[in-house]
Amino acid sequence: MNGHILHGGDLISASARYNMPQDQWLDLSTGINPDSYPVGELAPEVFQRLPYQQQAFAEAVTGYYGSDQWLAVNGSQPVIQALPLCLEKLPVLLPDVGYDEHRHHWAMNGNPLAFYPAFDQQAASAQIETRFRNGGAFHLVVINPNNPSGLRFSKEQLCDWAGRLEGEGRLIVDEAFIDTQPASSVLSDKLNDKLIVLRSFGKFFGLAGLRLGFVFASDQLRAQLQQRLGIWQVNGVAQGVATNALTDLDWQRGAREDIGLNAAFTNELLAPLMDKLQPDLVVQTSLFSSWQLDADIAAQVQDLLAQQGALVRLIPLNERKALLRTGIISRYNWDGIDQLEGAANRCIELLSHQGEAHV
């Protein structure tokens, strides 16, 4: 594994590469709600006091997620890095395509890795079942829904797998993108001790800069993580904003509806380009869509869009295939809509000039 993993939202690098100021970009390289929760005014003490965990924050978190077995962290990334160090050093079964930080940190820890297919739910389930039949303890990592493949499993299936893990094996479920369908979450009042659940605050609420996430796990594992990660993982500002957002049921209901409408609207804007490209596979979720193309075509389209100030993610799958992953645009971002339409049309025009053989 090399040490550098590319992530979405890196406007600094994109600006340097294309010599374009950050404020001129339309960033579709992330899976973050473009209509973020309105922060509003905050009490001065959230800036002034050391960020000990506030009771109102704790009540808001438990109420929103439906479980009190949580630890608040500076985004889910520190937990992904720390988990291999806190769990038994067992073989790990992961999706072959997914959020690469999972694979990277298990590999860095020296755990033997195996993979199940991320684009075929039936094949993935069959491979996981085969691993159970082979016996022995192992850890299972599931990103539900998977970013960027969209693969998802039912909470009943996940709870069944958690209950069948042997010895010190654990099921790690990354639910970073599940807030638009909260009923699909495996979280409950009392977690199976074999189950570890990661949740992200920033994606659904559109506030990735706060760096807030949660890990739900047994008391023992949470204590281990707390000791390894240290105190004051979550600053006072993040606690204050999250307390308001997690209890604002009206905003949450409206956001789920708006995200669905924005996703459909974004796909409509990109439809002429995708009709031109004829992708092998299309994955559409509430906060992102993925389009599988020949690797050279995907790289070319990503570059052409970037030249027009529209940033999307390029995710290589192998030497022949790659994904273009696009986030969603707000229906109220008039300048962004014009920019995306213009970039897509310019891309179609340039591809057409090269001849159909290249597409």
Going by the DSSP 8-state scheme, the letter that residue 54 receives in this structure is: P
Q: What is the pLDDT of residue 6?
A: 53
Shared-domain flag, residues 204 and 68: yes
Mean pLDDT in residue range 24-53? 93
228 and 311 in a single domain? The answer is no
Q: For 283, phi and psi rounded to 5 degrees?
A: -115, 125
179 and 273 share a domain?
no
Average pLDDT (207-232) is: 95
Same domain for 150 and 243, yes or no, is yes
Residue 1: what pLDDT?
36
Please determine, for residue 354, whether its predicted confidence score (pLDDT) is greater than 80: no
Share of the chain above pLDDT 70, in %: 97
Q: Identify the band that residue 357 occupies on the pLDDT scale cut at 50, 70 and 90.
A: very low
Pairwise CA distance, residues 260 & 150, whole Å: 15
- pTM for the full model? 0.94
Model confidence band, residue 7 (pLDDT cutoffs 50, 70, 90): low
Residue burial 179-196, b: 16+ Cβ < 10 Å; e: rest: bbeeebbbbbeebbebbb
Q: Is 4's pLDDT higher than 70? A: no
Name the pLDDT band for 9 (thresholds 50, 70, 90). Answer: confident
CATH number for position 270:
3.90.1150.10
**End position of a domain, from candidates 247, 271, 290:** 247
Residue 2 predicted with pLDDT over 80: no
Instruction: Verify that 185 and 60 share a domain, yes or no.
Output: yes
174 and 151 within one domain:
yes
Distances (CA, A) of 87 to 40, 83, 114, 194, 276: 40, 6, 17, 11, 48
Q: For residue range 142-162, what is the model confidence (pLDDT) as tens digits?
A: 999 999 999 999 999 999 999
Q: Which of 247, 271, 288 is the last residue of a domain?
A: 247
101 and 134 in a single domain? The answer is yes
* Residue 54 domain boundaries: 45-247
Helix axes 295-307, 11-18, angle to 10 degrees: 80
The verdict on residue 256 lying in a domain is yes
**Do 220 and 353 lie in a common domain?**
no
The chain-wide mean pLDDT, for the chain, equals: 94
CA distance 290 to 46: 39
Domains in the chain, number = 2
Helix, strand or coil for residue 354?
Answer: helix
pLDDT in tens, 90-144: 999 999 999 999 999 999 999 999 999 999 999 999 999 999 999 999 999 999 9
Give tens-digit pLDDT for 277-311: 999 999 999 999 999 999 999 999 999 999 999 99
Question: Do residues 35 and 332 make contact, with C-beta atoms less than 8 angstroms apart?
Answer: yes
* Same domain for 131 and 269: no
Do 228 and 105 lie in one domain? The reply is yes
pLDDT at 5: 53
Q: Domain ends where: 224, 247, 270? A: 247
pLDDT higher than 60, residue 84:
yes
Kindly state whether residue 350 falls inside one of the protein's structural domains.
yes
- Same domain? For 240 and 297 the reply is no
Q: Residue 10: pLDDT band by 50, 70, 90 thresholds?
A: confident
Q: What percent of the chain has pLDDT over 90?
A: 89
- For residue 168, what is the enclosing H or E element? none
* 205 and 295 assigned to the same domain: no
CATH code (residue 215): 3.40.640.10
Q: CB burial class (10 A; 0-12, 13-18, 19+) of residue 21?
A: exposed
